[in-house]
């Protein structure tokens, strides 16, 4: 027996007044499909707006994190009368603590800082968490992580145990030169390796000098090419690929404790979010480069292209040394970007608020 589709999907309602046994007509299948299609279209229209609002909230939280970090630097300087060093060799180890590790008490991590002996290396530093002794280096410091960073997870050692935790904000190490081990002179960045510095050393002015900039956790990088002499600042990625070195596919910016530039710093060799792509064994990587890690050679210069990158569309969040937070677009002029990273280069930089 044939049954009309409309009768199958009829939805009975109350009886009509004055018509005993009669019902209102229900929705047909076509009408239901139209309603579902309209709902789908509305969801499609609203979803980008919702995603945009979420990203705006994440970007605001990211900016707030950076504000807390640069204010912590100011509090550290007020307390110690110097800026936290970018990297210094520990008295009892080759490990050098980062600037981020030294400002821990000023980003509400006093307990974590109290467990650290800055004269010793970070490899053996432990903190008690829930009765278990955990490596300090594997501890997640929320203020050092951008909510938009999709690589917010710990890095394990060869035994599968938690060893390091990444970060999303790198200190300003300058345009290219980071450290000259021949005479101990640091590069022109705001944070200096192997040397105590103060606000008074920032001759360009705190409002004209970069403090921190965003980086992406788990960045691939070349290291320890150990090219002797002064290497000219590279103009494009092909020069980085030619210098090469030992390749690490995914461990850059995974150690917030380590003061070496490829882990906790940034340089302005290339503009924000600039892709430095090299083809390695048939796979293309967007990577960083460090000629030699700080403390690993007595003659080769630590020169590095550690690019500021973010998951925000169009640019990166940065802090200036005076405590201001700005969003710098990818289209910033390279000379302006590099001038922003020198502490005493004589440049005047006026970033929009």
Mean pLDDT of 205-234: 97
Q: Residue 5's pLDDT band (boundaries 50, 70, 90)? A: very low
pLDDT surpassing 80 at residue 129: no
Mean pLDDT of 244-258: 97
Residue-wise pLDDT for 265-322, tens only, equals 999 999 999 999 999 999 999 999 999 999 999 999 999 999 999 999 999 999 999 9
Q: Supply angle C-alpha 327, 328, 329, rounded to 5.
A: 115
- Please name the residue ranges forming H helices in 156-210: none
Q: Supply angle C-alpha 134, 137, 140, rounded to 5.
A: 80
Helix or strand or coil: residue 27? coil
DSSP string of 158-225, one letter each residue: TTS-EEE---SEEEE--SSEEEETTTTEE-SSSS-BTS-B-GGG-TT-GGGSEEEEE--TTEEEEE--
Rounded Cα distance, 241 and 267, in Å: 17
Q: Residue 67's pLDDT band (boundaries 50, 70, 90)? A: very high
Residue-wise pLDDT for 15-43, tens only, equals 444 455 555 566 788 878 888 888 888 87
Taking the chain, what is the end-to-end CA distance rounded to the nearest angstrom? Answer: 75
Mean pLDDT of 189-209: 94
Report the relative pairing of strands 288-290 and 219-223 from DSSP bridges: parallel
Measuring CA to CA, how many Å separate 139 from each of 73, 74, 111, 152, 166?
A: 20, 24, 12, 12, 9
Task: Give the residue among 294, 100, 52 at the shortest CA–CA distance from 215.
Answer: 100
Q: Residue 125: its pLDDT value, please?
A: 84
Residue the block writes with tokens 């994190």: 65
pTM equals: 0.85
pLDDT surpassing 50 at residue 8: no
Helix or strand or coil: residue 210? strand
Task: Give the residue among 30, 10, 33, 12 at the shortest CA–CA distance from 21.
Answer: 12
Q: Break the chain into its structural domains and give their ranges.
A: 54-340
Lookup: tokens for 314: 């169009």
Rounded Cα distance, 235 and 242, in Å: 12
Rounded Cα distance, 212 and 318, in Å: 6
Q: Taking a C-beta distance cutoff of 8 angstroms, is the pair 316, 272 a contact?
A: yes
């Amino acid at each position: 027996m044939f049954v009309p589709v409309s009768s199958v999907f009829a939805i009975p309602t109350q009886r009509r007044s004055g018509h005993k046994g009669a019902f209102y007509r229900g929705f047909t299948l076509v009408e239901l499909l139209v309603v579902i299609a309209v709902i789908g279209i509305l969801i499609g229209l609203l979803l980008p707006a919702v995603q945009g609002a979420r990203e705006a909230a994440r970007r605001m939280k990211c900016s707030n994190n950076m504000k807390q970090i640069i204010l912590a630097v100011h509090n550290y300087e007020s307390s110690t009368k110097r800026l936290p060093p970018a990297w210094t060799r520990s008295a009892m180890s080759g490990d050098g603590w980062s600037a981020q590790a030294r400002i821990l008490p000023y980003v509400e991590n006093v307990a974590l800082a109290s467990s650290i002996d800055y004269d010793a290396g970070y490899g053996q530093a432990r903190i008690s968490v829930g009765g278990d002794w955990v490596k300090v280096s594997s501890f997640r410091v929320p203020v050092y992580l951008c909510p938009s960073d999709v690589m917010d997870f710990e890095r394990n050692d060869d035994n599968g145990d938690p060893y390091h935790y990444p970060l999303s904000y790198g200190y300003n190490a300058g345009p290219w030169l980071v450290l000259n081990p021949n005479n101990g002179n640091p590069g022109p960045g705001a944070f200096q390796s192997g040397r105590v510095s103060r606000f008074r050393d920032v001759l360009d002015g705190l409002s004209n000098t970069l403090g921190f900039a965003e980086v992406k956790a788990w960045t691939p990088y070349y290291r320890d090419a150990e090219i002797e002499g002064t290497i000219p600042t590279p103009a494009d990625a092909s020069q980085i690929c030619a210098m090469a070195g030992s390749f690490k596919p995914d461990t850059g910016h995974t150690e917030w404790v380590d003061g070496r530039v490829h882990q906790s710093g940034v340089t302005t060799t290339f503009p924000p979010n600039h892709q430095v792509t090299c083809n390695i064994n048939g796979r293309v990587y967007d990577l960083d480069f460090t000629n030699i890690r700080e403390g690993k050679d007595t003659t080769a210069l630590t020169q590095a292209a550690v690019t500021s990158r973010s998951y925000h569309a169009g640019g990166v969040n940065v802090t200036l040394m005076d405590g201001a937070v700005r969003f710098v677009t990818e289209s910033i002029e390279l000379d302006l970007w590099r001038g922003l990273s020198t502490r005493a280069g004589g440049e005047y930089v006026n970033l929009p608020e």
